[in-house]
Amino acid sequence: KLIKSTLTAALILTSGLSIAKNPIIDNVFTADPAAFVHNDTVYLYTGHDESPSNNVFFQMHDWLVFTSKDMVNWTQHGPIMRADDFKWAKGSAWAAHMIERDGKFYFYTTVRHKDDKPGFAIGVGVSDNPLGPFKDAIGKALVTDDMTKHTPNDWDDIDPAIHIEENGDVYMFFGNLVPKYVKLKDNLIELDGPIKVIDVPNYTEAAWVHKKNDNYYLSYACEFPEKICYAMSKSIHGPWEFKGVLNELAGNSETNHQSIIEFKGKDYFFYHTGGLPPKPGQESGGRFRRSVAVEEMKYNPDGSIQRIIMTTE
Ligand code: FUB
């Protein structure tokens, strides 16, 4: 035990920060990571897979959050919000993203809308605390399926991801099969202009935008089963130059969903896999029983990103 602690300490000392063994959460099934750095802490927001079997479609009712100050030890909190906290929604707590402005925390989520506006929708939760609880910030959906009829399916308006520009302008990226973005008003709960379509190849879902130095990066789940691809631009408005696959198929989960952050001088890539082994009397991880994992991410001198090496494979 002493040798193990000494080795761990040495690893932390030589590399600055160590990283947890994947999947980083193993007591509950988690998906769709959205990491957020606040006050020297990583807040890892996740969906919560509760399907009893990989033959039963997503059963997702609420969102969880896990915190860490060292990327090794994670503390579970939550649920921070349930899909049915939106009175106009009827379940499906799919992918979400957290941001902060002026001491308030805004949680952009995917949910299924009730039958008066069928299809998926994007809602916004708000709280004074990043650990919640969150309440509906608007009392209605920010985006409904009838506003985004780009595909025959009713979920082309899922997976919100927010990017805040240095001048304070806020943009929401989202979509399934057709990637889209829209500016938000300063109040963060209204659209400020039209929803625009983005031109990148092989897009499936899970858009995430981040900026490093002068480069904007749009990463997204591509093809199906999903890999993560990415594109680069010098402007939030594009054009986006396709740069290829960033992360290969993540084991047996079919979907893949990434979140990219910088924390204490290192860059990290969160994703999910179906790799959790079975517990007695239960099915193993898989496409509807997913688990969040993380890897260190490295940039090349030209700003492109090195292919992620998955320690989960
Ligand atoms: O978790 C439900 C859906 O699966 C998400 O919204 C997608 O990104 C995919 O991961």
From first to last of the 313 residues of the chain, give the pLDDT tens digit. Answer: 333 333 343 344 444 577 878 999 999 999 999 999 999 999 999 999 999 999 999 999 999 999 999 999 999 998 999 999 999 999 999 999 999 999 999 999 999 999 999 999 999 999 999 999 999 999 999 999 999 988 888 999 999 999 999 999 999 999 999 999 999 999 999 999 999 999 999 999 999 999 999 999 999 999 999 999 999 999 999 999 999 999 999 889 999 999 999 999 999 999 999 999 998 999 999 999 999 999 999 999 999 999 999 997 6
Q: H-helix or E-strand containing 242?
A: strand 241-247
pTM score of the predicted model: 0.94
CA-based end-to-end distance of the chain: 27
- 70 neighbors 61 (Cβ within 8 angstroms): no
Which protein residue's CA is at the shortest distance from atom 9 of ligand 1?
255
Query: Amino acid identity of 46?
Result: T
Pocket of ligand 1 contains residue 54 by CB under 6 Å: no
Which protein residue's CA is at the shortest distance from atom 8 of ligand 1?
206
pLDDT at res. 313 = 60
**What is the spatial distance between Cα 255 and Cα 58, in angstroms, rounded to a whole number?**
11
ipTM for the assembly = 0.99
Q: How far is CA 300 from the centre of its chain?
A: 24
Strand partners, 44: 35, 66
Q: How crowded is residue 52: how many other Cβ atoms within 10 Å of its Cβ?
A: 11
Q: What are the backbone dihedrals phi and psi of residue 9, each rounded to the nearest 5 degrees, phi first?
A: -60, -40
| Edge-to-edge order in the sheet of strand 41-48 | 30-38, 41-48, 62-68, 75-82
Q: How far, in Å, from the CA of 137 to the mean position of ligand 1?
A: 23
Pocket of ligand 1 contains residue 250 by CB under 6 Å: no
Q: How far, in Å, from the CA of 289 to the mean position of ligand 1?
A: 12
Pocket of ligand 1 contains residue 205 by CB under 6 Å: yes
| Ligand 1 mutation target, pool 30, 62, 110, most atoms within 8 A of CB | 110
| Catalytic center residues | 32, 205
Taken as a whole, the chain contains a residue count of: 313
- The tens digit of pLDDT for each residue in 117-137 reads 999 999 999 999 999 999 999
Q: How far, in Å, from the CA of 311 to the mean position of ligand 1?
A: 22
- The token duo for 174 is 């989202």
Write down the residue that tokens 């480069």 correspond to.
215
